[in-house]
Amino acid sequence: MNFIKASQDAHGKPVELQYCDYGQGDPIVLIHGWPLSAASWEYQLAELPLHGKRVIAYDRRGFGHSSKPWDGYDYDTLAADLKAVLDELDLQNVTLVGFSMGGGEVARYMSRYQGARVKNVIFVSAVTPYLLKTDDNPNGVDKSTFDGMIENLGKDRPDFLNSFGKKFYGVGLVSKPVSQAALDWSQSLALMASPRATTACVKAWSETDFRADLGTIKVPALFIHGGSDETVPLANSAEQAVKLVPGAQLVVYDGEPHGLNVTAKDRLNRDILTFASGQQVSEDYSDSDNVTARTDSDNKSAY
């Protein structure tokens, strides 16, 4: 495993971030969602490097194989962790891709570090701009909803995450967009996180206001969101966020749930490659548009 030292914890011990680094070309950095790990990008890590891109994904502190300190789950610290990854690997012309909670890291990094090293940004199923209902955000979600999540995590974390995973992928009595094996895999990734990180990050992504952060973004930005996302509803997130970033594009995947990096993996891979290559993403899609895997001897993007 590869590790990057991001900082030190309160006891002076290093906080190390586990990462993977595949392919060659302009870099795409994938930032995973809550409560999973970089391994949740499986279908992107397997495909994107085949198209002339260098692809990096890392485990957020507290998740996956990264260090699990007690503190440091606020977005200023998490954005500093992202900066450590970009600096240590000396990445330039980066496409940042933030999924769900990871969208917050993208927004905070862009404002706190003036978008250094970044060419463009993609927000996928992201929690931006501000989920919490307040006097100046009346269409947000009641704090009691997030408090209930934290309470249930404390009562029975495995059971809560099991139920959450079904909603994450849009699994219902009739709808079965992913297999039971896929749910089990996702649950195993979630359970690798520390209980402290799992609960602390709920508070972070539910209560952090990214509206000012989004207004600082000066590079091309793309928002991708599932039209049937019940975890981070479209109306509370991407539809509002896109208004705050000049020139940003919103692409809605009709009928897709929160975890569209799995349920709509081919379309997402195509759109990431298209946007990372400096082109506008088409809002029309059919199965014939699926990404076709390429061998290393034919390692050129078709986008």
Q: What is the DSSP string of 78-89?
A: HHHHHHHHHHHT
Active-site position among 66, 229, 237, 271: 229
Given the residues 206, 225, 258, 271, select the one marked as catalytic: 258
- Reduced to 3 states (helix: H, G, I; strand: E, B; else coil), residue 296 is helix
Annotation marks residue 229 as catalytic = yes
- Is 258 a catalytic site residue? yes
Token digits for 220? 């091309």
d(CA 302, CA 287): 16
Longest dimension (CA), the chain: 57
Count of Cβ atoms closer than 10 Å to residue 148 Cβ: 12
Contacts of 23 (CB under 8 A, 6+ apart): 48, 49, 50, 52, 53, 54, 55
The Cα-based distances of 233 to 4, 61, 127, 252, 258 in angstroms read: 34, 26, 9, 12, 8
Annotated catalytic residue within 100, 125, 206, 237: 100
d(CA 67, CA 46) in angstroms, rounded, equals 25
Rounded to whole angstroms, the Cα distance separating 49 from 256 reads 25
CA 35 to mean position of chain CA atoms:
11
For the chain, state the CA radius of gyration.
Answer: 18
Distances in Å between the alpha carbon of 31 and those of 15, 134, 142? Answer: 17, 28, 26
Q: Is 100 a catalytic residue?
A: yes
Q: How many CA atoms lie within 13 A of 253 on its CB side?
A: 25
Which residues are catalytically annotated?
Answer: 100, 229, 258
